[in-house]
């Protein structure tokens, strides 16, 4: 079998291998492999471009270090993301571009962390927290009222101001 091409489809990135026509012509299993209407006259095999990485990941899944890292990811990353989706309006991002989406997620994570800190701070430190929360709210308002946000929010029928007002 020889590689013919590397191609991308909806299922992923694949190497495509073709057998030699002469090998397929004299093979006793030709009828099982090829249909009568096959114009190529040779067997075609598709193999994932990322096969080796997937297999390496598959074999590591029972190692103690891998299991420990997976537990930490489930606790810290996925739990925080679920909380952001539920309570911080991350069901969809209303700004265009990858950078804008990243900014939206980082501001949401900052707000979530400040809410967690609020629960841990004592009453004597509430003034510092209030100042930080005020600065964050000003940043969010500037972020939400940007022209890009207004254009994309109009497409969905939302206005930038009522998105966060509904969450309070």
Could you read off the pLDDT of 143-157 as tens digits, one per residue? Answer: 655 554 444 444 444
Same domain, 46 and 102: no
Same domain, 49 and 96: no
Whether 138 is covered by a domain: the verdict is yes
58 vs 161: which has the higher pLDDT: 58
Distance (Å) of CA 150 to CA 52, 115, 136, 142, 158: 45, 27, 20, 11, 9
Is residue 88 within 8 A of residue 111, CB to CB? The reply is yes
Number of domains in the chain: 2
Whether 69 is covered by a domain: the verdict is no
Segment 15-64, tens digit of pLDDT: 888 777 777 777 777 777 776 766 666 777 788 888 888 898 888 888 99
Same domain, 101 and 155: yes
- Is the pLDDT at 166 greater than 50, yes or no? no
Given its phi and psi angles, is residue 34 left (phi above 0), alpha (psi -120 to 50 degrees) or beta?
Answer: beta
Distance (Å) of CA 46 to CA 5, 14, 54, 168: 10, 6, 16, 52
Same domain, 110 and 157: yes
Segment 82-141, tens digit of pLDDT: 777 777 667 777 777 878 877 877 887 787 777 777 666 655 566 666 677 777 777 776
Whether 70 is covered by a domain: the verdict is no
Confidence category of residue 6, pLDDT binned at 50, 70, 90: confident
| φ and ψ at residue 124, rounded to 5 degrees | -70, -25
The domain containing residue 110 runs over which residues?
A: 90-165
Is residue 148 within 8 A of residue 96, CB to CB? The reply is yes
Whether 23 is covered by a domain: the verdict is yes
Whether pTM exceeds 0.75? no
Distance (Å) of CA 102 to CA 11, 98, 106, 112, 146: 26, 6, 6, 15, 15
Same domain, 94 and 44: no
Whether 24 is covered by a domain: the verdict is yes
Q: What pLDDT score was predicted for residue 63?
A: 92
């Amino acid at each position: 079998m020889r590689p013919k091409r590397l191609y991308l489809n909806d299922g992923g990135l694949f190497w495509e291998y073709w057998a030699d026509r002469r090998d397929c012509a004299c093979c006793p299993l030709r009828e099982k492999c090829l249909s009568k209407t096959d114009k190529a006259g040779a067997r075609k095999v598709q193999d994932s471009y990322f096969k080796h990485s997937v297999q390496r990941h598959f074999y590591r899944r029972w190692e103690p270090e891998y299991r420990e890292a997976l537990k930490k990811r489930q606790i810290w990353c996925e739990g925080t993301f679920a909380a952001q989706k539920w309570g911080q309006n991350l069901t969809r991002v209303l700004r265009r571009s990858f950078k804008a989406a990243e900014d939206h997620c980082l501001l949401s994570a900052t707000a979530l962390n400040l809410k967690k800190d609020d629960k841990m701070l004592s009453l004597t430190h509430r003034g510092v927290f209030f100042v930080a929360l005020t600065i964050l709210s000003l940043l969010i308002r500037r972020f939400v009222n940007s022209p890009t946000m207004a254009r994309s929010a109009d497409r969905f029928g939302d206005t930038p101001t009522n998105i966060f007002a509904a969450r309070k």
